Amino acid sequence: MILELFLQQVLNGLTLGGVYSLVALGLTLVYGILHVPNFAHGAFYMAGAYSAFFIMTKLGLNYWWGMLGAGVVVALISVLAERLVFHPLRKAPYLHHMIASIGILLFLEAGAQAIWGADFHRMDTPYTQLLEFGGLTLPAQRLLIIGAAFLLVALLQLFLKKTITGATIVAMAQNREGAALVGIDATRVAMLTFAIAGALAGVAAVLYAPINLVYTSMGNLVITKAFVIIVLGGMGSVPGAIAGGLIIGFAEAFGAFYISTDYKDIIAFALLVLILSVRPQGLFAKGAH
Amino acid sequence: MKFMNATTGWSLLLLLALAFPFLAGNDYHLTVMSTAYIYAIATIGLNLITGYTGQYNLAHSGFMAVGAYTVGILTVDHQVPFWIAFFLAGVIAAAIGFFVGLVSLRLKTHFFSIFTLCVGYIMYLLIEKWESLTHGTVGIIGIPAPPNIGSIDFTEPRPQYYLVLFFLVASLWIMHRIVRSLLGRTFMAIRNGDDLAQALGINLMRNKLLAFMLSVFFAGLAGGLYAGFVRFIGPGVASVEHTFDMTMYMLIGGIGTLLGPLLGAIGVPWLTQYLQVLQDFRFVVFGPLLVILVIFLPYGIVGTWMNRKRRKEALAAQSAAPAARDINTLAAAKGATHA
């Protein structure tokens, strides 16, 4: 019985960790390219959930179309934000980036509230079955989250490592001037990165929404935790975002079970405060920021 | 030659503020104005650490909540007299600020902001979950108003207004003294460049920490006033959205100026008052506005105006003495904005 409870928490940790990793990956990619901490990323996540909700309830399409639609819509919003806001600000001080991204965040949240109201919505999923497996109850949606998250992470890794387009993103993250010198189009790479980041956030939201709920401020906690993750994992580091996502996911799942459900949301932040107090440069970061 | 100098401008503003209760149509307007003043005090504090010292603190509303809850808990649960609790509101906020600052100020630029964002969330969640201390989501009800002074009754809107105005004027005056002093120059040197400031022999940590503590002291006092004025507080006070609101006030008026945050903190609530549709969806308009401001008018209304004036003066000085292009006028033209 103890072991089963333990395994149940492992499952919860993987679920949370998968969602957090997807969101944190987008955030860290954008940071790597532009050195912009994009506070609007949580609003992108929220926009993804609402897009899918709209597609499923108003257009009557199924869950998978909703997920695809959310990915496309949020990728578009994300690219638009890059073109209209972050590109003009690329030479401005860091404070301006942050305030501008907060402006986008506030706009998207208020926009969603204006259209859909402040109510909480439930998102239906075709995967409501409970799978029994040797005394373990495995909700199908959670297995879907875990499977999809790991598949996406693996695909992203292949894309970054094995394709030329992916390599341009890595090159630009490593050295902007160097990348420009060998003929990489910075504008194209920036747009591509924002599109990927947005799509990941949108898909993550649609995966997680059926077991959470859809509401306008649903992105706030997730984005704050994603920030914790990329600070822990090293800003701009892809493996760091995945590892950090899993660490926070597990810390929350086990913390909620063994310490207190009430304070489970504090765990991530307490961890960050603790780690940054001892190591101001983050867990995996090399050198100074 | 000069149409209006700083002293007459400020005196006019003060006169207007003093006359406002007699011009205002009803008590509701007074309440709106008093609330705006309270947020103005907190915004002035945020401006010290962000506008003058260059560190964007996203836990500012958390510190305002610390002040509000200090007054709420002490007066309601422990029957401490209001004014003692009010004084402690600032002190406790600054004391917590000392420890938070000690850790967070080792981080630079957005790392500091992300860290304080997390601190803000911890504060919010603690307030919401620690029911035995903070009454949880129910909030604290029935906070006493400031006790009567003579026959002045602070449950009435008009005395309340003047009380809040008094603290606003005091805050502005103290902030004016700070930014005009060597300490203020030190803060601005840190904002303009950590390395350069350090090379000048400025102790970065000590000065940043001082700026941070002063800044959250104002937030704590504003929170204490808020508790005594609204007389009901919930965890929502600590929500990061209030920090975003204050950022907006600061940015629209002019970040790193004395007048700017005041103008923003008073102007924006009135604007939303008059555009009733905006009440709930104000960020549909203000979100893009914030972006546009940052791109096209990053110094806000006051900052842009000051820069233009300064450039004009520098040009006039140059044409008057073309040979003596001394460093002072150039420095004045380029130097930090400051109203």
Interface pTM (ipTM) of the complex?
Answer: 0.84
With CA atoms as reference, the chain B residue closest to A87 would be B295
User: Has residue B2 been placed in a domain?
Assistant: no
Q: Do A110 and B50 touch (CB under 8 A)?
A: no
Q: Is the pLDDT of residue A283 over 70?
A: no
- Give the CA distances from residue A46 to residues A71, A234, B19, B102, B308, in Å, rounded to whole numbers and listed in that order: 12, 25, 46, 34, 41
Beta-carbon contacts of A119 under 8 Å, excluding residues fewer than 6 positions away, are A215
Output A208 or A268, whichever has higher pLDDT: A208
What's the mean pLDDT in A80-104?
86
Rounded distance, CA B294 to CA A256, Å? 41
Q: Is B146 helix (H, G, I), strand (E, B) or coil?
A: coil
- At residue B154, the pLDDT reads 78
Q: Do A110 and B121 touch (CB under 8 A)?
A: no
Rounded distance, CA B226 to CA B168, Å? 13
Number of compact structural domains in chain B: 2
Of the candidates B140, B138, B149, B179, the one whose C-alpha atom is nearest the C-alpha of residue B261 is: B179
With CA atoms as reference, the chain A residue closest to B103 would be A277
pLDDT digits (tens, 9 = 90+) for B222-255: 999 999 888 889 888 888 889 988 988 998 888 8
Domain ranges (residues) in chain A:
2-118+141-278
Q: What is the pTM of this model?
A: 0.85
Name the minimum distance, in Å, from the CA of A103 to any CA of chain B: 4
User: Within this chain, do residues B202 and B112 fall inside the same structural domain, yes or no?
Assistant: yes
Rounded distance, CA A56 to CA A124, Å? 8
List the structure tokens of A286: 């090399």
User: Has residue B78 been placed in a domain?
Assistant: yes
- Residues in a beta bridge with A131: A138
| Chain B residues interacting with chain A (CB cutoff of 8 angstroms) | 50, 54, 56, 103, 106-111, 113-115, 117-119, 121-122, 125-126, 129, 240, 244, 247, 251, 280-284, 286-291, 294-295, 298
Q: Looking at the partner chain, which of B119, B240, B287 has a beta carbon nearest the beta carbon of A103? A: B287
Torsion angle of the four alpha carbons B260, B266, B268, B273, in this order, in degrees rounded to the nearest 10: -170
Q: Do B284 and A262 touch (CB under 8 A)?
A: no
User: Within this chain, do residues B124 and B235 fall inside the same structural domain, yes or no?
Assistant: yes
Output B62 or B280, whichever has higher pLDDT: B62
Name the minimum distance, in Å, from the CA of B162 to any CA of chain A: 33
User: Within this chain, do residues B187 and B65 fall inside the same structural domain, yes or no?
Assistant: yes
What's the mean pLDDT in B155-167?
87
Name the minimum distance, in Å, from the CA of B156 to any CA of chain A: 34
Beta-carbon contacts of A21 under 8 Å, excluding residues fewer than 6 positions away, are A149, A153, A229, A241, A242, A244, A245, A246, A249
Write phi, then psi, for A182 (nearest 5 degrees): -90, 15
User: Within this chain, do residues B190 and B285 fall inside the same structural domain, yes or no?
Assistant: yes
Q: Do B103 and A273 touch (CB under 8 A)?
A: yes
Q: Do A289 and B121 touch (CB under 8 A)?
A: no
User: Has residue B18 been placed in a domain?
Assistant: no
Match domain A2-118+141-278 to its CATH number in 1.20.120, 1.10.3470, 1.10.287, 1.10.132: 1.10.3470
Identify the domain containing residue B214 by its residue range.
Answer: 25-298
Rounded distance, CA B47 to CA B38, Å? 14
Output B331 or A118, whichever has higher pLDDT: A118
Rounded distance, CA A82 to CA A90, Å? 10
Q: Do B118 and A269 touch (CB under 8 A)?
A: yes
pLDDT digits (tens, 9 = 90+) for B176-230: 999 899 998 999 998 888 888 888 888 889 999 999 999 999 999 999 999 988 8
What's the mean pLDDT in A228-254?
86
Name the minimum distance, in Å, from the CA of A265 to any CA of chain B: 8
